[in-house]
Amino acid sequence: MTFQAPKGVKEYVPPQASTFYAIRGKFAETARLAGYAYLETAVFEDTQLFARGVGESTDVVSKEMYTFTDRGGRSLTLRPEFTAGVLRAVLEYGLHRGQLPVKVWTDGPVFRAEAPQEGRYRQFYQLDLEAIGSEDPAVDAETIALAWQWYTALGLTQVRLMLNSLGCAECRPIYRARLQEFLRGLDLDEPTRARIEINPLRVLDDKRPEVRAQLDDAPLIGDHLCAACKTYHCQVKQLLADLGIPWEDAPRLVRGLDYYTRTTFEFDHPLLGAQSGIGGGGRYDGLSEAIGGPRLPGIGFGLGLDRTVIALEREGVALDVPPRCEVYGVALGDEAARSMFKLVSELRAAGVAADMAFGGKGLKGAMKGADRSGAAFALILGERDLAAEVAQVKDLATAEQAEVPLSQVVDVLKGKVK
């Protein structure tokens, strides 16, 4: 077979896929306990949703989107991020007409055409959480806290929270003008100079060393916040402190998308090297109007599943993943195989992860399968056992074996594995 996954596509296969699945499950429970409902959104959207929402000057829109024309001549784009699509769905289905904030979460693949490297892929996976319809520092703190609690529940101990405020429509223009004045005096290429006029904050997010070396004396947004934004930011930090969540002030943190306002944050992990960001987000109070909706403030985040998996590996954290198989059935003979098939089904119905040897394997080959399955117990059934209406239950760790009446097999094994 000569086919392979496309370059830059991250796939998960057993056993690593079990970790991938487990961390999603922990997030689902974290979100549920905080009143967030699951939302499933389209994988591709009208291209203009991202152009207007994310911002045409961003690298995401200008360089990284997978855009195509469908058979009807419509320009569509594979989602490069979740927030714009989630907000579109909230507006389309009228969720904002009910209780506010609308609290939803989702997950799945996201697509960006960038150079593949460890932790950065063209198809990658994110967990996304959004609280839409409220402008309250407590909502900001809750959003950040849920991500922090999830990282902590996974067992990660080296995650750092970077925190900043990007101001509002009142104070941002003043800072924007000061920043443009500073940037125009630097030695920058023409595309970057053009960006100064469109969205100068994006220059601060430039990763090229030759650009970053010139930004040391750039004015900081924190020095230009209006009184309302200063108060708001202090309240967010105080609420985080009340929860015992540590943060680091990151005055140059602007993130990569145009829609962010006020609270902006990023989670870093030092063991991931240059690609240390493992998640982040912020407030986007003007995004709804940008895509044609009513004023609807919101805040959310996207957490990278791929980078979280790497962070767990780097810290040596092994999650408590439910076993793929707890009981493995070994049947000797056709009649025994029929009975075993029914027993395995009954075990599953009782909540026991069960599998069995297929294909008429002999005892030696079937027991090898039992060892490879990771099961704690083997359930052995031969023709002689059938006649006596019993089965053999073998503890694969101790090799101890006991005879159990067929009528009690499910209850006995359920008790042993639970």
CB 167 within 8 A of CB 221: yes
Domain total of the chain: 2
Q: What is the pLDDT of residue 256?
A: 62
Q: Which of 315, 347, 366 is the last residue of a domain?
A: 315
| Token pair of 370 as six digits | 């039992």
Same domain, 305 and 331: no
Q: What is the pLDDT of residue 275?
A: 76
Q: What is the pLDDT of residue 207?
A: 78
Which ranges in 67-189 belong to alpha helices (H)?
83-92, 137-154, 172-183
Same domain, 74 and 38: yes
Same domain, 338 and 280: no
Q: How many helices (H) and strands (E) does the chain have?
A: 16, 16
Same domain, 311 and 332: no
State the residue range of the domain holding 292: 15-168+226-315
Q: What is the pLDDT of residue 191?
A: 86
List of residues 6+ apart from 323 with CB closer than 8 A? 353, 374, 375, 376
Instruction: Tell whether 128 is covered by a domain.
Output: yes
Instruction: Tell whether 404 is covered by a domain.
Output: yes
Q: Which residues are annotated as a binding site?
A: 81-83, 112, 126, 130, 255, 259-260
For Cα atoms 49, 25, 308, give the angle at the middle one, nearest 5 degrees.
Answer: 70
CA distance 277 to 266: 7
Tokens 């769905």 found at: 89
Tokens 């389209």 found at: 42
Which ranges in 250-397 belong to alpha helices (H)?
287-290, 305-315, 334-349, 363-373, 383-388
Q: What is the pLDDT of residue 60?
A: 75
pTM: 0.89
CATH number at residue 406: 3.40.50.800
Same domain, 145 and 280: yes
CA distance 13 to 311: 18
Which ranges in 51-94 belong to alpha helices (H)?
59, 83-92
Angle between helices 409-417 and 334-349 (to 10 degrees): 50
List of residues 6+ apart from 186 with CB closer than 8 A? 214
Instruction: Tell whether 90 is covered by a domain.
Output: yes
Same domain, 247 and 395: no
Q: Which residues are annotated as a binding site for L-histidine?
A: 81-83, 112, 126, 130, 255, 259-260
- What's the average pLDDT block by block, 10 residues per block, for the chain (418 residues)? 90 88 93 97 94 75 87 95 96 96 97 82 95 97 98 96 93 90 91 86 83 90 94 98 96 78 95 88 93 95 94 92 92 94 96 93 90 94 94 95 95 92
Q: Which of 293, 315, 337 is the last residue of a domain?
A: 315
Same domain, 141 and 263: yes
Instruction: Tell whether 65 is covered by a domain.
Output: yes
Tokens 């601060």 found at: 204
3-class secondary-structure state, position 391: strand
Instruction: Tell whether 188 is covered by a domain.
Output: no
Instruction: Tell whether 147 is covered by a domain.
Output: yes
Q: Which of 315, 338, 353 is the last residue of a domain?
A: 315
Same domain, 120 and 247: yes
CB 317 within 8 A of CB 117: no
Same domain, 277 and 251: yes
The dihedral region occupied by 273, where left means phi > 0, alpha psi between -120 and 50, and beta the remainder, is left
Instruction: Tell whether 205 is covered by a domain.
Output: no
Which DSSP helix (H) or strand (E) runs through 78? strand 75-78
Instruction: Tell whether 190 is covered by a domain.
Output: no
Q: What is the pLDDT of residue 9?
A: 92
For Cα atoms 163, 268, 134, give the angle at the middle one, nearest 5 degrees.
Answer: 40
**What are the start-end ranges of the E strands in 87-239?**
102-111, 123-132, 160-165
Same domain, 310 and 331: no
Same domain, 149 and 252: yes
Same domain, 254 and 146: yes
Which DSSP helix (H) or strand (E) runs through 10? none
CATH number at residue 311: 3.30.930.10
